[in-house]
Structure 1
Amino acid sequence: MAARNLTTPVFRPRGMWRRTWPLGVLLLATACGTVNAGNGVECTAIGTRVGVSVDVEHPEVVSGTIEVCWDGSCATPALELYPSSRVAETTCTGTSPDDSCSARSEPTEGKHGFADLPGLPAKPVDVTLRLLDQSGSSLVDRNIALTPEMVYPNGPDCPAGGPQAGISVGADGSITER
């Protein structure tokens, strides 16, 4: 039995495509990395998480739930809390741009989390936050009005990434908007 010669089809542009397809490939590759804001500023295609961040200083909190309501409907996204840390010490080899710096972090007794809410509007919302201890007993059960604000991950001269809001819970259970 004779072997068949199977070749992979090769894209060979014809006519005007022969001249323009390299430009199209270049534009597509470039568009994936940056966006021109229209005023000469290059903006990266960095994403922004849309939702509500929660920082908890209360040392007995181990878990929590959050409900966010606007325009007559509510969402109950997952809220996982993770141990928080802070910068304890920094050192730098100098002050020039070529010098290096380092930081050492240490754990705190707090926790932090983020509730992803893709449809969160940049207008007032009602939030119910419940924080529980190890036994499942409620330590915090509060309603708070928040106003998410647009976040600009590349700075104010680039397009907004989406709205975010933040809640801080003190060691005494007090709640403030961030």
Structure 2
Amino acid sequence: MRRIPWTAALLLLTAGCTTTPEAACPAIGTPVGIGLTVPDPAGITRATLEACWGDQCVTRPADLFPETAAGATTCTGTGPDGSCGASMVPTGGLRGFADIPGLPAEPVRVTVRFDDGKPHTVTVTPVFSHPGGPACGQGGPQAQLVAGADREIRPR
């Protein structure tokens, strides 16, 4: 009977093994907080968000900026050397974000006040984002809100 040397046997055993390649993850951060979209901003120039959970509340401004979306796409060429581009165009809405340190991934009562100071309240549960995909780990918790026609606030 012929014997295989132990180094050759080990080589044969490991030759069939494969490893999963590591994910290439971007080195980007995720802001922790609450985003706000105001599609019809008539009379709105500013917003303040108060977020409450447990026994604490945090009040932060949500600086509002014109919202944009991708416009028409133009392409040149169809092969590997071709390229496409799109310009950003205003939507007419406003968009903002309030940084809220310590925001948990559990129900949070959020009160939004616009220029008139009237409170608009909703409960939302922030979720952890994955900016580089699930293989890259999670970022901080975020929630997204949208203001309706009567300034009522709802989760997006």
Which of 150, 154, 163 is the equivalent residue of 2:128? Answer: 150
Structure 2: which amino acid aligns with 1:49? P
Match of 1:107 in 2: 90
Q: Name the CA shift for 1:71/1:41 in 2 (closer, same or farther; >3 Å).
A: same
Match of 2:66 in 1: 83
In structure 1, the gaps of 5 or more residues are: 1-37
Distance across 1 between alignment mates of 2:80 and 2:101: 38
Match of 1:54 in 2: 36
Higher mean displacement: 104-113 or 72-81: 104-113
SS of aligned partner of 1:157: helix
Q: Name the CA shift for 1:73/1:102 in 2 (closer, same or farther; >3 Å).
A: same
Higher mean displacement: 154-163 or 104-113: 104-113
Question: How many residue pairs are counted as aligned between the two chains?
Answer: 136
Say yes or no: does 1:141 pair with 2:112.
Answer: no
Distance across 1 between alignment mates of 2:132 and 2:107: 24
2:128 touches 2:140 (CA, 8 Å); kept in 1? Answer: yes
SS of aligned partner of 1:118: coil
Structure 1: which amino acid aligns with 2:153? I
Match of 2:23 in 1: 41
Match of 1:8 in 2: none
Q: TM-score, normalised by structure 2?
A: 0.78
Q: TM-score, normalised by structure 1?
A: 0.69
2:121 touches 2:153 (CA, 8 Å); kept in 1? Answer: no
1:176 is displaced (CA, Å) by 2.1
Identity %: 45
1:47 touches 1:161 (CA, 8 Å); kept in 2? Answer: yes
Q: Name the CA shift for 1:69/1:97 in 2 (closer, same or farther; >3 Å).
A: farther
1:156 is displaced (CA, Å) by 0.8
